[in-house]
Amino acid sequence: PYIGAAFFKFTYDSLQMAGPYILKDLLNYLSHCSGQEDLETSECSLGKGMLFVVLILISAGCQTTVLHQYFHRCFRTGMRLNAACISLVYGKSLRIASAGGTEETGEE
pTM recorded for the entire structure: 0.69
CA angle 40, 42, 46 (to 5 degrees): 50
- Angstrom distance (rounded) from CA 19 to CA 37: 28
Average pLDDT over residues 30-48: 75
What pLDDT, in 10s, does the model give residues 40-81? 666 788 888 899 999 999 999 999 999 999 999 999 999 999
Question: 102: part of which helix (H) or strand (E)?
Answer: none
